[in-house]
Structure 1
């Protein structure tokens, strides 16, 4: 039987963990494959000098549990592997059920002859995928027979496997998606509370399916609107439609934080379980740092999670609101209705409810389209990391790296190190690693600038210098090259390739290969290949950060600081070579260098790059990024030096590139961004600074005469934690409270926009939501002195203009004005 694994879970049946793999066959049928041939285990490391045979005998008899639940060892085995460069002999303890692992560890850890316990914190289902070498979504072959005894507890056919193997690279790319969205009763001025306010509409959207369910009738010709008798029937009908559509993915936008918890809570009122899983179990709610909702067989994907964690680095928008993200990624928007009027329309059974039904469906459609848009990236990460969609969707970048390494550990005969305990975490967090070198620019406008940067600097340093924990201070290469750090004696083996450096090398090589294949592929294949190379890039660029991440299993401070030391060494080397070859160095930061050519030519710059590359080791390479007609560097406050990572360039085709200015940062209004963008454009395109100065004066005059649109005054600021945990109430928190009072769900990570209105109260008391502000009702002085001038003053100072010349006396706001 050939099938694509999509999700998996396990159940304890007759004192044995039984893995259930949910997937689709090659002809599209949903199935469940049961595997009884995998047992949980962990490792015990004996103290030096302890007889391993006697300890094995002792450990084989260890038991724990209660009268109803017994935890016991079912098998012992001696294993030799490497742990962080040391070969270790350990005892592998196989146990009866997954919950026996922590229970028996607690029984064993304090025994006199036990040095350490390893791999006790690997989740059973993740362990299964790693050990069985099964990658979700990749074609898998199972020798299996129908299992009728489980049929009554499964919505799909169940088969018992005698063997499961994965020999193909073919993957399932056309996953069936069903998106949903709810609308709740939200009396104006009140917070929507699931204990009090009902769900009044729920929409579902799929490839060839759309539906809005509601329980108040109104006149409509919309064929997708379905009326039921009440909220309880709405929830039941939602469940029925999900099961009828049998999706692989059930997706929502902030559905972990709002939609599904709300449905679950309202269902409890009517004693209705959200049992949409393929095993009839109700959705499970887990509360770690953030709440998550899981269903089995049908994978719940809160697509906001993936966009916020992975896709956000490419987004220009400051906001994660559905409307803003959809506009950027899809070129689509939500329907323009006043959602605050929904409760009123509901109470009156108004014909306007039809517009709200359309609005509700559009939200589901946008969610569906967003999921479809980013799904190639999620699929490629799943295939790379080797974990399920729901697990991968919630991973951080450090977890991507860690699970890729874990997946490769067996091939290198490596034990997986334990997570650091509390004391280790505190010690690691107190350690500081010196970062990159910055050659600060002198403020000014320069012409004919060549820019170079190292291709994947830190990853290629790790590979080229074999930086890995087991190669650190080897016994054979002490007399060879040392890491260039003063008063340190660090070196890495030059004879035997390390585990981590080998793993990273294969990632970089794979990406290069994928990029070559892309050049010869059709458009459809290129979408997934591009997602694959992007995933490989994400993984390789995260390696250095992982080595220095305090919670990493493979953390090593010496390795991490060696990477940055080599980075500083090579950038210094390029600067010295440039100056020796009569180039004027304008700026350098981490992995890039800006050269003022003056009388030199583009060919001279390219020859210089070639000369540098001839001297670089291994995979390291200096790349020519391009020639720029002009480069603008500005000063930092109270200093003559240029600001780090704050520059603007214009290339030979007239394309402008900007780093670090307000227009590419959050917490800045559109009026400030637009003003700065126009000033930069004028200067880079060669216009006189006086023209830019006059332009800024005109903007200030427009602000003071109250002619600026409210939308250009909104200041977007991200909530970094729940509203209740803020001790000081800043303007964005005050605005968030106003938003929540309107019935809108407010959550950490959400970008709140506010406008500072006219008045003499503290700024937080004058912070209003943009839709609450009438035209002209804003504090012009605030926007001049705290938004526009800070955005342009350092640019104009390069040409001798002072901010006082623009706005008269500039008043510096004290922090107390905000709180």
Structure 2
């Protein structure tokens, strides 16, 4: 029996001689790939006894349940377990089954059994349950006592060891995962949509870096002259697919990554392979890549983790990105400072048919660059992924595909054993429908008075909702306890709610730990070496993501620990405290300009910041627990504009300049979609001239100059592109707006168009309806745009409210500003 140390990376399970065995793939400290098999774990779920049921009689009845057929499903054993479920301590029957597939089958039989109230924890995947119960955290050093299984009768690419003991050894983390990225190019004749039944893959690019040297290869089945030594030509598409498998096996990556590879590259590759009866058996157990079809396509490989890195970027990273469109080119430009190569994919098929070596070489270079950018993006976000793995305790492949609510839920589930908590069920359909109809009153927003103000001080609550949850012990299991009925009630009309003052709640305790850990990490970052800061920053960011997602999770209709009253209480306390700050500010003589959810803007008299600091200190003296009002900054000038069609100030729409001359813009077109770059740039420049330079007249003259440039057709096409999200399939739109018309043009050209896509278009000159004058950017020649449309519908609306506050009328800038009816647009 040998002692091994390894970093778990991926896991699956198999039924061996009638028992489930968990196969854990990973790397040893010296970098060797291994597989550890643990057959000492059994599937189970819980039965909740009915009131007054005899639990021992129920256990005996459950033991007799068995289902015979092609598979035998039976109960191995039962035991009584006492834990807490949503604040109530109960005794449940733990039902252990022979194999994981027996859990749902045996659970169904419980419905007809006398003395059964309900069943819980029946829907947790076996491998995820294994990590939860065994407290094994993927990518963290794990100790195993095991013996080699060299004579085991199964196919494997790596040595297998049978574990007699397995446990987490330390917090040492495997951070340098070996990444291999791939990307495919598909034959696309006449620009039509590609379909795996008809259109072959013509190139497959692979790119990796093991820390010492690059690995780069472009596989193709067309021989052509090229200077690129990374191009490898084979005889046929089938040979190319086989060679792809060989190269993946030779490189032996921990991670195989792609960009939208769950949705396109991998399914397409599998479909083409099936045409030739080839299995994409690149897994470490030689099993073919498996494709699960649900709301989204998912492709998994065993032992080698398949990461569609777009999934993580879309779900977690995108909220911090400036780009509206999550194309590989846009995301790589923002995160890496690099772009895709510029080629015309419309001529790929023609170049292939003509065997045009020059163009095919360009496409090979383009293909490899896509793979390289994908690998570098994966490396860029890897610290965030790894830290979430360590926090949530699930494998990196699962974490990559989790939403915010799923991350929070699995984090909570990880700690249920420590707190002796049962895991509640997911809601059934009727519950979902009922929950989706419920609403929670949101945050309070103090309406600003339109105007340009000087010496504005901004304060905000540090992590308002998380700190409220912790400070008031808001948790489903502490709500309306019997011991604190006489304590203070939540300040919410129409509801009588309170939370326990004597017993720490399960969810609030976990959140308190998250906030405390993040504060410690931020302190460590101040003293740490630069080479450690990337992972520390990823750690604090991951903790922040979890903390800020807690409130939303409580009110999320699909949550296991759903509590609308808890969510309602959080926002009620938020409104209470922001009102308290506003009232205190007014009593102390400050002019309150604006307030939104967790922040307050006040006008500072006499440039004396000491008054503001004393105000903040007075507020903090009265705040409970972890709540704290923080000084955000002093802004020499701030602009609030009027609401469209009303005299009152627009909420969540303002612009300020800080003491360093940096603009802070919220709600204006500069940070919104549906507006062209020319309108955004003009608006931002206007705000800069007004706020930073304090020259409104100069800003007005600048707009006049830009309007003239538009009329003289001197503006580049790229600055006129309007981007709008397609929110549903094209066929479901009853009226055809400009972006729908553009989407139709994209589809006609062979581009896959789906809900969620950002549709770019330009409005060209002409007398037809707007929708009939929409063109894709690449279809528009310089100067062939409708200047009046952009002046009257893009530029002037972007600045008119700004100048209205200052007493300027932008209507004079339009030679003919027509009030266009809806008929012209549609």
Normalising by structure 1, report the TM-score.
0.98
Say whether 1:33 aligns with 2:36: yes
- The residue correspondences of 1:264-663 to structure 2 (distance < 5 A) are 264-352=270-358, 353-599=360-606, 601-663=608-670
Specify the SS of the correspondent of 1:188: helix
Q: In the alignment, which residue of structure 1 is the partner of 2:716?
A: 709
Higher mean displacement: 695-704 or 773-782: 695-704
Q: In the alignment, which residue of structure 2 is the partner of 1:251?
A: 257
Q: 2:163 aligns with which of 150, 161, 164?
A: 161
Change (3 A) 1:150 1:814: farther
Change (3 A) 1:189 1:814: farther
1:566, distance to aligned residue in structure 2 (A): 0.5
Q: 2:17 aligns with which of 9, 14, 17?
A: 14
Q: Output one character per residue of 1:114-167: Cα deviation in whole Å (capped at 9) or x when no partner.
A: 111011111111111101101110000111111234464211111111111003
Q: Distance in 2 between matches of 1:524 and 1:816?
A: 60
Q: Distance in 1 between matches of 2:755 and 2:381?
A: 22
Specify the SS of the correspondent of 1:553: coil
Q: Distance in 2 between matches of 1:14 and 1:730?
A: 61
Q: 1:801 aligns with which of 784, 793, 808?
A: 808
Q: Distance in 2 between matches of 1:280 and 1:770?
A: 46
Q: Output one character per residue of 1:299-358: Cα deviation in whole Å (capped at 9) or x when no partner.
A: 111111111111111111111111111111111111122222211211111122111111
Change (3 A) 1:812 1:157: farther
CA contact (8 A) 1:329 1:370 kept: yes
- The residue correspondences of 1:663-812 to structure 2 (distance < 5 A) are 663-812=670-819
Normalising by structure 2, report the TM-score.
0.97
Specify the SS of the correspondent of 1:476: helix
Q: Output one character per residue of 1:774-797: Cα deviation in whole Å (capped at 9) or x when no partner.
A: 111112222122211221111111
Specify the SS of the correspondent of 1:428: helix
Higher mean displacement: 218-227 or 500-509: 218-227
1:600, distance to aligned residue in structure 2 (A): 5.3
Q: Distance in 1 between matches of 2:325 and 2:547?
A: 27
CA contact (8 A) 1:477 1:494 kept: yes
Say whether 1:263 aligns with 2:265: no
Specify the SS of the correspondent of 2:169: coil
Q: Distance in 2 between matches of 1:125 and 1:723?
A: 40
Q: In the alignment, which residue of structure 2 is the partner of 1:48?
A: 51
Q: Output one character per residue of 1:64-92: Cα deviation in whole Å (capped at 9) or x when no partner.
A: 252x2011100100011100011111100
Q: Distance in 2 between matches of 1:148 and 1:731?
A: 65
Q: Distance in 1 between matches of 2:581 and 2:554?
A: 26
Q: Output one character per residue of 1:221-265: Cα deviation in whole Å (capped at 9) or x when no partner.
A: 221111100111111111110111010000111111111111111
Specify the SS of the correspondent of 1:599: helix
Q: Distance in 1 between matches of 2:157 and 2:732?
A: 43
Q: Distance in 1 between matches of 2:823 and 2:37?
A: 63
Change (3 A) 1:381 1:354: same
CA contact (8 A) 1:186 1:742 kept: no
Q: Output one character per residue of 1:417-467: Cα deviation in whole Å (capped at 9) or x when no partner.
A: 000111111111111111101101001100000000000000000000011
Say whether 1:179 aligns with 2:156: no
Q: 1:218 aligns with which of 196, 199, 224?
A: 224
CA contact (8 A) 1:182 1:259 kept: yes
1:110, distance to aligned residue in structure 2 (A): 3.4
Higher mean displacement: 683-692 or 734-743: 734-743
Say whether 1:209 aligns with 2:215: yes
Q: Distance in 2 between matches of 1:745 and 1:252?
A: 18
Specify the SS of the correspondent of 2:84: strand
Change (3 A) 1:187 1:570: same
Higher mean displacement: 755-764 or 785-794: 755-764
Q: Output one character per residue of 1:364-411: Cα deviation in whole Å (capped at 9) or x when no partner.
A: 111111111111011111111111111111110000100000001111
Q: Distance in 2 between matches of 1:84 and 1:809?
A: 65
Higher mean displacement: 796-805 or 661-670: 796-805
CA contact (8 A) 2:54 2:115 kept: no
CA contact (8 A) 1:457 1:567 kept: yes
Q: 2:84 aligns with which of 82, 85, 97?
A: 82
Q: Structure 1 stretches of 5 or more lacking a match?
A: none
Specify the SS of the correspondent of 2:416: helix
Q: Distance in 2 between matches of 1:802 and 1:392?
A: 53
Q: Distance in 1 between matches of 2:754 and 2:19?
A: 41
1:718, distance to aligned residue in structure 2 (A): 2.3
Q: Distance in 1 between matches of 2:332 and 2:74?
A: 53
1:218, distance to aligned residue in structure 2 (A): 1.4
Q: Distance in 1 between matches of 2:291 and 2:733?
A: 26
Q: In the alignment, which residue of structure 2 is the partner of 1:113?
A: 115
CA contact (8 A) 2:340 2:369 kept: yes
CA contact (8 A) 1:65 1:103 kept: no
Q: 2:63 aligns with which of 53, 60, 64?
A: 60
Q: Distance in 1 between matches of 2:670 and 2:646?
A: 22
Q: Distance in 2 between matches of 1:443 and 1:19?
A: 64
Q: Distance in 1 between matches of 2:117 and 2:518?
A: 41
1:281, distance to aligned residue in structure 2 (A): 1.1
Q: In the alignment, which residue of structure 2 is the partner of 1:103?
A: 105
Q: Structure 2 stretches of 5 or more lacking a match?
A: none
Q: Output one character per residue of 1:746-779: Cα deviation in whole Å (capped at 9) or x when no partner.
A: 4443322111122233333322211111111112
CA contact (8 A) 2:120 2:425 kept: yes
Q: Distance in 2 between matches of 1:520 and 1:795?
A: 44
Q: Output one character per residue of 1:192-238: Cα deviation in whole Å (capped at 9) or x when no partner.
A: 11111111111100002000111111112221111100111111111
Q: Output one character per residue of 1:31-51: Cα deviation in whole Å (capped at 9) or x when no partner.
A: 111110111100001111111
1:704, distance to aligned residue in structure 2 (A): 2.2
Change (3 A) 1:479 1:242: same
Q: In the alignment, which residue of structure 1 is the partner of 2:239?
A: 233
CA contact (8 A) 2:220 2:233 kept: yes
Higher mean displacement: 213-222 or 362-371: 213-222
Higher mean displacement: 450-459 or 422-431: 422-431
CA contact (8 A) 1:321 1:750 kept: no
Q: Distance in 1 between matches of 2:646 and 2:587?
A: 28
CA contact (8 A) 1:151 1:157 kept: no
Change (3 A) 1:28 1:722: farther
CA contact (8 A) 1:147 1:159 kept: yes
CA contact (8 A) 2:653 2:666 kept: yes
